[in-house]
Structure 1
């Protein structure tokens, strides 16, 4: 039997409806009605989260790890139903949703393993030196501790891995922080079924019910109330620059400012060095086309800009990319609004005389086809709009005169999630010039690869200098992301009878 959503919010273990509703806008299949979020629901969820914090934050690491594993198990039990509702709402193919579900459960289990290990506590101990002169030293111990309830905003482009039980939620729960999720209206049914899985895990693991709540839909006042609620101590967000910056400002303007961990996207430039272009420019062009159009270009790591020198070898790279893009059929975008924003972004390039169209397509409705443009370094550096992310399969080739201009251009980029070098052995000297610039500009630097997709691992960094993210010292993927929801506490001369509870 096909799973059917109840259309309600999950507030501290209770499914709560409301008089106002909104209707989902699926790419296929039936639409469903969902209750609209309210400020009152935000208050209820945050108060329940604060009450749960006192118990949950003191729960032994082994119990929290078992809870994360249980959430993963419950999500997998609902696998076929999640794929069905997820593909209907998002238009993403089943294989993509199944892969994303595996990533979501993998993240949960990775954090379970991470907190069992205990290294995340960053334990530091300076033993007492009572006989030290001229002054004795007290016994000092430092331990990372959870900060309190965390607000998480679901992402439009990842209904699972960056939404209800995604990386932000997994990291916060692992740290010992209850979570209040503001669900994305693009995939409310997917959010609900995952919340159902989390509730089942709460019940089977006997966790406090306020440890998780999901508020569906809602107008701007709901998001505002959530980030400004005095019981919320941090916010995790993946989305647009405009939306993220507005929430960031609200967090900073609170009587008690709190950290806003926003991942806001980037253009992820690729720098193609001369020897690599000479040896395999066409191959790189074909690979770029595949990365640029994967998932209709709806990845925050989509490589939107390729920097390559003028000349016949650079021309061959461009020709290969254009030929590969011409073969890509229109793809369904996540929402009508995202498709419209893609067309609006494309229009910025169509109206600039110094930008040459190499491949243009016009689509209607929720469909999107690739578009490719070309300009020079001077034009790019003088026109800030060319460096703004276009969420979709649009690429810009920036032609340079050589390594010197490539270096100038690299310095002109804003903060990025990724930057890529395509190089061969003969390009090492040029790469050495560029690497110090790129590592300052981006959170992840690749060599001879394509950045679309993010590996979930201990070493990964998914973040970068603003505007790629709002906190350059943080990552939203990988085990290091747990640090966003912890703070160091130093204990001086703490008796052994109190010490054990700090690291249990």
Structure 2
């Protein structure tokens, strides 16, 4: 089912063209022309979103739940066109895209069920104590309320699950916040299809047209205009550290600063503890290679760094090298990502004390695996080694003792994940590492690999900076909705003036 993009923005229910344009750069097929975003388009979308707050933000939970479910249905109805279009734009295989579509619709339905249950509202009641001495206590109630219009930036590496209708948009809409999305230039036609699905769902339910808008990018000024518009009250972002930090600083510098929920990536360190390395080192190395090269390493949870005792490193290194050598060059999401990957590879290869266990060359839009080894001492001497290389590049840090492994763990910046590979005899060392890993990462794993983020109530996809800009938030799982809510306290209000969800407590 082929889709012919029209190249326009969706502004409050209307498809809008523009004078300035940009060309897409698909992995296969001919490029298409898309209208370039502008500050004026951003302003129109943000103002429409503010106008929609008064109806959508105060609508019953059932209305929002039905909207999320309708979006899922409309996305599924466009399934073949999405798979074909996203595959051409990104180079991702059909099976991956179909799985990602299922994840996208699944999280929409999960959020619908979650808000119907109502627990996310965190409703509280302190009854009045008129006889309390020396002073009586008034009746006090509390409930979470939507913050207002939210800006969402689509991610390059997930054209569905972290893009136009991804987890950020789903959680903002679940919270009762109208959304303005800046579509990613890596997959504009895919974004156009999904935006059409959201608008069709909105129209089905008769919701205010300003509840959702999408503006194409094409210029850096579009993102800046979006986070600086006074109607925008929070931002959700998945992308690079440099781009995310620039937007974060703009949010903080506004006359009214707003929260910026940026997921900026990580190296996701793994620790091969002695018992595990001794009993299954080669298998661990091969499994690491499989996780590392999944999706050409273009996952924010890609395990790019591992730590092991030097006297036990041989089997892990051999297993990883053998497995990686069988993986050829693959198409990456964009030419820019491929170029950045090659630059990162060259930076790591040139660092003092780093040796190549497996080195490969790739050109144009391709990426192929690289594996490097460095001692713990050389690692600590070069902070640049801890910077993410987005792609299938691995660095194995060898240490001389268990104590040095703990010290190396303390040297990592904030991470999305941290992983322990261990056997029963490693429990004592793992116990020493656990407090370090808990402070380091939002998710701690044992005997697994972090690629693959389950969408569920207990998931945390975030962590201390620079993994994310807000260590108390997650961009995956039902707790993601809390990012776009704020608590409101109600003191001695008549029942008729209370929000419906607070009455009768």
Question: C-alpha separation between the residues in 2 aligned to 1:498 and 1:404?
Answer: 61
**Whole-angstrom distance in 1 between the partners of 2:390 and 2:452:** 15
Per-residue deviation at 1:494? 1.3
Name the structure 1 match of 2:371.
372
| 1:141/1:492 contact within 8 Å kept | yes
Report if the CA contact (8 A) 2:268-2:302 is conserved.
yes
**SS at structure 1 position matched to 2:86:** helix
Cα distance in 1 between the residues matched to 2:387 and 2:452: 20
Give 3-state SS (helix, strand or coil) of 2:162's partner.
Answer: coil
* Equivalence map 1:288-327=2 (5 Å): 288-311=288-311, 313-327=312-326
Q: How far has the Cα of 1:2 moved from its partner?
A: 1.7
The offset of 1:6, in angstroms, is 0.9
Partners of 2:374 and 2:396 within 8 A in 1: yes
Greater Cα shift, 137-146 or 349-358:
349-358
CA apart distance, 1:350? 1.9
Rounded to whole Å, the distance in 2 between the matches of 1:46 and 1:452 is 35
- Cα deviation for residue 222 of structure 1 reads 0.9
Q: Give distance in 2, aligned partners of 1:456 and 1:353.
A: 40
Residue of structure 2 equivalent to 1:70: 70
How far off its partner does 1:499 sit?
2.3
Cα offsets for 1:437-493 (capped at 9, x unmatched): 000000000000000121000000000000000000000000001010000000001
- The equivalent residue for 2:176 is 176
Aligned counterpart, 1:457:
456
Distance, in Å, in 2 between the alignment partners of 1:496 and 1:398 is: 62
Maintained 8 Å contact 2:2/2:85: no
Counterpart of 1:358 in 2: which secondary structure? strand
| Structure 2 stretches lacking a partner, 5+ long | none
Using the TM superposition, give the Cα deviation of residue 218 of structure 1 relative to its aligned residue in structure 2, in angstroms.
Answer: 3.0
Runs (4+) of structure 1 exceeding 3 A deviation are: none
Deviates more, 1:218-227 or 1:426-435: 218-227
Give, in whole Å, the separation in 2 of the partners of 1:303 and 1:417.
10
Secondary structure at the counterpart of residue 214 of structure 1 = strand
CA separation in 2, counterparts of 1:64 and 1:485? Answer: 14
Q: How does 1:214-293 map to 2 (within 5 A)?
A: 214-293=214-293
TM superposition shift of 1:349: 1.6
Matched residue of 2:92: which SS? coil
| Alpha-carbon separation, structure 2, partners of 1:95 and 1:331 | 16
Q: Which residue is equivalent to 1:468?
A: 467
On the 8 A contact 2:140/2:492 being kept in 1, the answer is yes
Q: Scaled by the length of structure 1, what TM-score is found?
A: 0.99
**Cross-structure match for 1:50:** 50
Shift of 1:217: 1.7
Conserved 8 A contact 1:129-1:137: yes
- Which deviations, in whole Å up to 9, do the C-alpha atoms of 1:26-68 show, x marking residues without a partner? 0012211100001000000000000001110111100110010
Whole-angstrom distance in 2 between the partners of 1:86 and 1:377: 42
User: Is 1:444 paired with 2:443?
Assistant: yes
The equivalent residue for 1:211 is 211
2:352 and 2:378 in contact (8 A); partners too: no
| Deviation for aligned residue 1:500 | 4.6
Shift of 1:498: 1.9
Q: Matched residues in 1 for 2:417 and 2:77: separation?
A: 35
**Separation in 1 of the partners of 2:217 and 2:244?**
17
Q: CA deviation at 1:135?
A: 0.4
Distance across 1 between alignment mates of 2:225 and 2:501: 33
Q: How far 1:426 moved relative to its partner?
A: 0.2
Secondary structure at 1:374 match in 2? strand
Residues 199-219 of structure 1: CA deviation (Å, up to 9, x unaligned) = 100000111100000001231
User: 1:141 is paired with a residue of what secondary structure?
Assistant: strand
Deviation string, structure 1 residues 227-264 (Cα, Å, up to 9, x no partner): 01111000000000000000000000000000000000
Q: Separation in 2 of the partners of 1:2 and 1:310?
A: 54
Q: CA RMSD in A?
A: 0.8
Q: Hey, what does 1:116 align to over in structure 2?
A: 116
Residue 121 of structure 1 contacts residue 503 of structure 1 at CA under 8 Å; is this kept in 2? Answer: no
Structure 2 contact 150–233 (Cα < 8 Å) conserved: yes
